Amino acid sequence: MIGVMGAGAFGTALAISLTGNGPVTLWARDRTHIDEMRIAGENARRLPGTALPDTLRLSADIDELQHATIVLLAVPMQKLRTVLTEYAPNLAGKTLVACCKGVELETLQGPVQVITETVPDAVAAILTGPGFAHDIAKGLPTAMTLACADALAGGALQDRLSTANLRLYRTTDTIGSELGGALKNVMAIACGAAMGAGLGESARAALMTRGYAEMQRMAQAVGARAETLSGLSGFGDLTLTCTSEQSRNARFGLSIGRGEDFDASVTVEGAATAQAVQARARALQIDMPITDAVCGLTNGQLRVDQAMNNLLSRPLKEEKC
Ligand SMILES: NC(=O)C1=CN([C@@H]2O[C@H](COP(=O)(O)OP(=O)(O)OC[C@H]3O[C@@H](n4cnc5c(N)ncnc54)[C@H](OP(=O)(O)O)[C@@H]3O)[C@@H](O)[C@H]2O)C=CC1
Ligand SMILES: O=C(CO)COP(=O)(O)O
Using one digit for the tens of pLDDT, what is the confidence trace for 7-51?
Answer: 999 999 999 999 999 999 999 999 999 999 999 999 999 999 999
Closest CA to 135 of 30, 9, 233, 42: 9
- pLDDT reported for residue 3: 98
Reference 187, options 115, 137, 97, 247; nearest CA is 247
Residue 205 to residue 208: CA distance in whole angstroms: 5
Contact residues of ligand 2, CB 6 A cut-off: 101, 130-132, 185, 188, 237, 240-241, 247-249, 269
Cα 292 to Cα 198: distance, rounded to the nearest angstrom:
21
How far CA 206 is from CA of 2, 146, 213, 241, 308, in Å, comes to: 41, 29, 11, 15, 11
63 is in an annotated binding site: no
Strand ranges, E, within the chain: 2-5, 24-27, 42-43, 47-51, 57-59, 70-73, 95-98, 123-128, 142-148, 166-171
Alpha-carbon span 232 to 253, nearest angstrom: 22
- Exposure letters 24-45 (e unless 16+ CB within 10 A, then b): bbbbbeeeebbebbeeeebbeb
Looking at residue 225, its pLDDT comes to: 97
Spatial distance between the Cα atoms of 311 and 289, rounded to a whole number of angstroms: 7
pLDDT at 261: 97
Supply angle C-alpha 202, 206, 208, rounded to 5.
115
How confident is the model at residue 38, as a pLDDT?
98
pLDDT in the model for residue 90: 98
Distance 133 CA to ligand 2 centre (A): 8
137 is in an annotated binding site: no
Q: What's the pTM value of the predicted model, to 2 decimals? A: 0.98
Ligand 1: does its nearest atom lie under 6 Å from the Cβ of 55?
no
Give the nearest ligand 2 atom to 131 CA. 4
Q: Is 29 annotated as a binding residue?
A: yes
Which residues are known catalytic residues? 184
Taking the CA of residue 188 as reference, the ligand 2 atom at the shortest distance is 9
DSSP for residue 68? -
Q: What is the pLDDT of residues 81-114, one digit of tens each?
A: 999 999 999 999 999 999 999 999 999 999 999 9
- Between the CA of 194 and the centroid of ligand 2 the distance, in Å, is 18
pLDDT tens series, the chain, 321 aa: 999 999 999 999 999 999 999 999 999 999 999 999 999 999 999 999 999 999 999 999 999 999 999 999 999 999 999 999 999 999 999 999 999 999 999 999 999 999 999 999 999 999 999 999 999 999 999 999 999 999 999 999 999 999 999 999 999 999 999 999 999 999 999 999 999 999 999 999 999 999 999 999 999 999 999 999 999 999 999 999 999 999 999 999 999 999 999 999 999 999 999 999 999 999 999 999 999 999 999 999 999 999 999 999 999 999 988
Cβ of 138 below 6 Å from ligand 1: no
Establish whether residue 79 lines the binding site of ligand 1, counting it when its CB lies within 6 angstroms of any ligand atom. Answer: yes
Q: So what's the ipTM on this one?
A: 0.99
